[in-house]
Chain A
Amino acid sequence: EPEVTQTPSHQVTQMGQEVILRCVPISNHLYFYWYRQILGQKVEFLVSFYNNEISEKSEIFDDQFSVERPDGSNFTLKIRSTKLEDSAMYFCASSPSGMYGGNEQFFGPGTRLTVL
């Protein structure tokens, strides 16, 4: 069964460093998402992406964040200068449709980012 994959599973970085989190969505899906979940807290929407551009972003997704689909398979989240409060589990998700109908979002296993 196709699934969303994410690498690395755990990333440790120093405050101020740039990190890139990678995701491979399910191949025939069209909509891609990033979420984060700080330990013990709720899942928070970061950004949605469709047709090679951002379709929606939250207040959390400021200028320090960017997303890219560099080729036909990868979907990346970059944090330019990490802060301690960026420590969280980051989930990538994809769905076959975005706006209409029952668009089940398939989540990847997550990347745990630890900023020291």
Chain B
Amino acid sequence: GQNIDQPTEMTATEGAIVQINCTYQTSGFNGLFWYQQHAGEAPTFLSYNVLDGLEEKGRFSSFLSRSKGYSYLLLKELQMKDSASYLCAVRDQTGGFKTIFGAGTRLFVKA
């Protein structure tokens, strides 16, 4: 089966750096996504990792270790508008291709 774990909530200060971790178990790993979701809105794509290592995109970076079943999303220079849920999602190719979402980490950015 598949399982994705990420912390339920985190709080950080404006201007700081925060790291949101995600661990997963899946039999047919085929890529990991991070999405941002503001309350009442649709998820928006942040990053995609399929190979080990760090992908950097402006203030946001994502890291993947396939051997450890582990990823993190790093947010730098936090802004108040970064307060949102961050969803870790894994594409599983077992029996086809589908994307399994974690429950999300709700990030609160305080002044």
Complex Cα–Cα for A110 and B39 (A): 12
- Chain B: which residue is nearest A42 at the CB level? B103
With A42-B102, A42-B103, A44-B101 as known contacts, state yes or no: A55 contacts B96, CB within 8 Å: yes
B102: A residues at CB distance < 8 A:
42
Total contacts A-B at CB 8 Å = 53
Complex Cα–Cα for A44 and B89 (A): 10
Interface residues in B15-51 (C-beta closer than 8 Å to A): 30-31, 33, 37, 41-45, 48, 50
Q: Is the CB of A43 within 8 A of B87?
A: yes
Complex Cα–Cα for A55 and B93 (A): 11
Size of the chain B interface, CB-CB below 8 angstroms: 24
Size of the chain A interface, CB-CB below 8 angstroms: 24
B43: A residues at CB distance < 8 A:
43, 91, 107
- Does A104 sit at the interface, judged by CB under 8 A? yes
- Does B100 sit at the interface, judged by CB under 8 A? yes
Interface residues in A39-63 (C-beta closer than 8 Å to B): 41-45, 48, 55-58
Complex Cα–Cα for A57 and B45 (A): 22
Q: Is the CB of B45 within 8 A of A105?
A: yes
- Chain B: which residue is nearest A98 at the CB level? B97
**In angstroms, how far is the closest chain A Cβ from the Cβ of B85?**
10
A72: B residues at CB distance < 8 A:
none
Some 10 contacts from A to B, beta carbons below 8 A apart, are A45-B98, A45-B101, A55-B96, A56-B98, A57-B98, A58-B98, A91-B43, A98-B97, A99-B97, A105-B45
Closest 5 CB pairs of A and B: A56-B96, A107-B42, A102-B48, A43-B101, A42-B103
| 12 more CB-based (< 8 A) A-B contacts, given A43-B89, A43-B101, A56-B98 | A33-B99, A35-B101, A45-B98, A45-B100, A45-B101, A55-B97, A56-B96, A98-B97, A99-B93, A102-B31, A105-B99, A109-B41
